């Protein structure tokens, strides 16, 4: 038997997370009063150490760990990841502040590390510790609504962002509203001696902090509205990532291993009755920087004969071989993980037909460690290290097909969270000064070549927009093989994108980060709409590998990372750009649905249609990128 499973290249992070291991130690210059690890109280590779990353990239923020509060540490921006990290022992309370050899300090609250993560998951991105977490430590209450001006925690978080923004603008390396790395020097912190009193929680709420801090930093260049918008950017950035669920791969009955996306049409999925039908599935979703989540998945359902040795895995093998897979498409929605509560509380829907009554619906789930949603009791306890599970946090789904009402659970992984976009590469009209050149929005054309050499290449117009999201730019006279763009701007910019030519466009991806060394931006894309025709289901830059679970006669399909190399645009030399993977090689794309369909088609016992046989041959290829001919080169802010 040969069935394909999809594995992120960071799948080893799961093993690290479950064993409690973190990432490698950073290269750090010690403080004047040496401690063993300057950006934390423990070593990253020890089982009881949790390494976290701040959502606002601040180097030099002071903190203490409650297990040894006599020592002070500082956050450190790691050169390789550009993440501002710190470390404390699992279960510690982390107190943040700004201070250096003075009695005066800025109190930034105490955060319970258990609320952020109980283990490190460095391979997937460190758990994020946010400005809102600090604000909660100051007010004692979680934020409930970003849009509620009376939410005290949001007010305090906005004040903290305003201070950090003012410090950043003061250095001359950023403009108001833009999130860029902030390095708070020892000298700057020593100058807190110039303020008359320390800044406390009540000073943030009352607004008194602005006057107290004026001798040290003037926050007036950062308006309340600008600080609020920057906070929104941080909150949505925290949620933006790739989310993935797999069908049962590691499943073992009554174990702590993840069970995968699995369920059935009866209350008991183990009962031996002809009426029992099983359902398994997988999906990949992208949440972009505007808070919209989209993507697609594959499901298999039907009656099978399960093995008594390991019934869940035998169900997977039988269904994938003998049941025709159905595609599940998720149009852009905002009902995925709530950025404040980290919960799914409203149905997130995948369409499987034109009848909305057939929708596959994810009904609940909570992200733990900024990394995982657990669907079953055993995996939940392993993930949270709690002795008692909370079923209200499990990942659950449901689907009605005719008279069958399927229900089940799923485990989902949050991979490759996005980071801030460094303005040395990501130049927009909003973050450059007047009379300076900017690059984004960048209109480009992707050319998809097929591994099947008889297929005609397809062109697709896209936009890497000024917010760090990716959408289509399809022209009015598009054909199946030429969907090039016209560099149109948007007249409507919610879930349904309509450009000034009246053409509906589609959210297809997000920029991960800006690679300063290579003068590039990383990209992740999922094309999930029937309008893309042959490209419907194509994925790019997701760092995944589709491989055979059994057998080795067929090669794995590798979809590595993707980066747009825009050094010529940054330097103003030319409009020539390239697309490469992280090793500098050609970028590959794949179609996950078609690859899974091929397993069904290749079974001699199945009567696959000619259409399915044709689709199974379009599993991927290579993709290249060029600046669109209509893009205005050397754009200048006026």
In SS3 terms, 558-603 reads as: EECCCEEECHHHHHCCCCCCEEECCCCCCEEEEEHHHHHHHHHHCC
475 and 336 in a single domain? The answer is no
318 and 453 in a single domain? The answer is no
Per-residue confidence (pLDDT) for residue 78, from 0 to 100: 83
Q: Which of helix, strand or coil describes residue 90?
A: coil
Per-residue confidence (pLDDT) for residue 577, from 0 to 100: 97
Q: Quote the tokens at residue 633.
A: 């080169």
Instruction: Say whether the peptide bond before residue 148 is cis (omega within 30 degrees of 0).
Output: no
Indicate the number of domains in the chain.
3
Alpha-carbon gap, residue 428 to 406, rounded angstroms:
47
Per-residue confidence (pLDDT) for residue 15, from 0 to 100: 38
In the chain, % helix, strand, coil (3-state, to 5) comes to 20, 30, 50
Per-residue confidence (pLDDT) for residue 34, from 0 to 100: 36
For residue 287, is it within any domain?
Answer: yes
For residue 616, is it within any domain?
Answer: yes
218 and 320 in a single domain? The answer is no
Q: Which domain-ending residue is among 223, 239, 255? A: 239
147 and 126 in a single domain? The answer is yes
For residue 423, is it within any domain?
Answer: no
Per-residue confidence (pLDDT) for residue 125, from 0 to 100: 63
For residue 593, is it within any domain?
Answer: yes
Q: Which of helix, strand or coil describes residue 635?
A: strand
Cα 341 off chain centre by = 16
Q: Quote the tokens at residue 483.
A: 């969907």
410 and 446 in a single domain? The answer is no
Give per-residue pLDDT as tens, 559-571: 789 999 999 999 9
Which residues, in sequence order, are CB contacts of 375 under 8 Å at separation 6+? 258, 259, 260, 261, 365, 394, 395, 396, 408, 409, 410, 411
Q: Which of helix, strand or coil describes residue 381?
A: helix
The closest alpha carbon to 520, from 486, 556, 567, 482, belongs to: 567
157 and 190 in a single domain? The answer is yes
218 and 366 in a single domain? The answer is no
For residue 517, is it within any domain?
Answer: yes
Q: Which domain-ending residue is among 221, 239, 257? A: 239
110 and 80 in a single domain? The answer is yes
For residue 14, is it within any domain?
Answer: yes
Which neighbouring-strand residues pair with 77?
Answer: 84
Q: Which residues of the chain have pLDDT under 70?
A: 1-37, 119-125, 250-255, 306-311, 544-558
Q: Quote the tokens at residue 334.
A: 């905002």
User: Could you tell me the pTM of the whole model?
Assistant: 0.92
Give per-residue pLDDT as tens, 517-526: 999 999 999 9
Per-residue confidence (pLDDT) for residue 252, from 0 to 100: 64
489 and 411 in a single domain? The answer is no
23 and 127 in a single domain? The answer is yes
Half-sphere exposure of 229 (CA within 13 A, CB side): 10
Alpha-carbon gap, residue 328 to 249, rounded angstroms:
20
16 and 77 in a single domain? The answer is yes
The closest alpha carbon to 318, from 248, 266, 384, belongs to: 248
Q: Which domain-ending residue is among 239, 254, 269? A: 239
For residue 354, is it within any domain?
Answer: yes
For residue 8, is it within any domain?
Answer: yes
Q: What is the chain's mean pLDDT, rounded?
A: 88
245 and 234 in a single domain? The answer is no
What residue numbers bound the domain in which 496 lies? 437-636
Q: How many helices (H) and strands (E) does the chain have?
A: 12, 41
């Amino acid at each position: 038997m040969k069935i394909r499973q999809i594995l992120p290249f960071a799948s080893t992070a799961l093993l690290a997370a479950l064993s409690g291991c973190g990432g490698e130690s950073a290269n750090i210059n010690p403080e004047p009063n040496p401690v063993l690890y300057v950006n934390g109280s423990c070593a990253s590779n020890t089982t009881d150490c949790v390494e976290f990353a701040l959502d606002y990239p601040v180097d030099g923020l002071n903190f203490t760990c409650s297990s040894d509060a006599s020592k002070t540490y500082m956050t450190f921006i790691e050169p390789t990841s550009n993440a501002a990290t710190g470390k404390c022992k699992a279960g510690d309370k982390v107190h943040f502040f700004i201070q250096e050899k003075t009695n005066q300090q800025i109190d930034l609250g105490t955060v319970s590390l258990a609320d952020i993560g109980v283990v490190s998951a460095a391979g997937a991105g460190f758990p994020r510790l946010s400005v809102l977490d600090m604000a909660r430590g100051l007010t004692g209450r979680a934020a409930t609504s970003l849009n509620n001006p009376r939410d005290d925690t949001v007010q305090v978080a906005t004040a903290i962002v305003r201070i950090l923004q003012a410090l950043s603008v003061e250095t001359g390396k950023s403009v108001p509203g833009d999130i860029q790395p902030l390095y708070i020097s020892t000298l700057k912190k020593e100058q807190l001696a110039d303020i008359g009193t320390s800044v406390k929680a009540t000073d943030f709420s009352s607004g008194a902090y602005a006057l107290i801090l004026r001798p040290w930093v003037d926050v007036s260049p950062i308006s309340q509205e600008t600080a609020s918008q920057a906070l929104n950017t941080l909150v949505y950035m925290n949620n933006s990532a790739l989310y993935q669920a797999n069908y049962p791969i590691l499943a073992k009955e009554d174990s702590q291993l993840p069970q995968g996306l699995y369920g059935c049409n009866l209350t008991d999925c183990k009962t031996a009755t002809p009426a029992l039908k099983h359902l398994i599935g997988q999906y990949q979703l992208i949440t972009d920087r505007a808070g919209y989540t989209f993507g697609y998945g594959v499901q298999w359902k039907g009656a099978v004969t399960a093995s008594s040795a390991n019934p869940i895995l035998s169900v997977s093998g039988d269904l994938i071989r003998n049941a025709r897979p159905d595609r599940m498409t998720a149009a852009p929605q905002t009902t995925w993980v709530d950025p404040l509560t980290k919960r799914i509380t409203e149905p997130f829907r995948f369409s499987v037909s034109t009848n909305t009554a057939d929708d596959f619906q994810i009904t609940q789930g909570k992200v733990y460690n900024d990394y995982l949603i657990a669907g079953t009791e055993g995996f939940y306890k392993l993930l949270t290290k709690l002795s008692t599970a909370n079923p209200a946090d499990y990942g659950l789904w449901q689907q009605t097909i005719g008279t069958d009402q399927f229900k089940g659970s799923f485990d989902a992984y949050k991979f490759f969270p996005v980071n801030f976009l460094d303005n040395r590469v990501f130049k927009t009209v909003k973050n450059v000064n007047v009379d300076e050149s900017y690059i984004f929005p960048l209109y480009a054309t992707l050319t998809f070549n097929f591994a099947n050499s008889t297929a005609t290449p397809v062109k697709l117009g896209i936009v890497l927009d000024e917010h760090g999201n990716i959408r289509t730019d399809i022209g009015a006279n598009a054909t199946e093989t030429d969907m090039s763009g016209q560099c149109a701007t948007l007249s409507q910019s919610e879930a349904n994108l309509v450009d000034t030519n009246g053409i509906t466009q589609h959210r297809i991806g997000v920029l991960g980060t800006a690679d300063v060394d290579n003068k590039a931006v990383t990209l992740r894309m999922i094309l999930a709409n029937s309008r893309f025709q042959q490209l419907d289901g194509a994925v790019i830059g997701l760092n995944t590998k589709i491989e055979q679970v059994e057998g080795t006669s067929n090669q794995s399909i590798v979809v590595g990372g993707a980066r747009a190399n825009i050094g010529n645009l940054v330097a103003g030399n030319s409009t020539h750009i390239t697309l490469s993977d992280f090793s500098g090689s050609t970028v590959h794309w794949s179609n996950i649905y078609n690859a899974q369909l091929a397993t069904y088609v290749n079974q001699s016992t199945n009567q696959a249609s000619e259409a399915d046989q044709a689709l199974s041959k379009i599993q991927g290829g290579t993709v290249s990128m060029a600046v669109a001919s209509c893009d205005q080169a050397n754009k200048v802010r006026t």
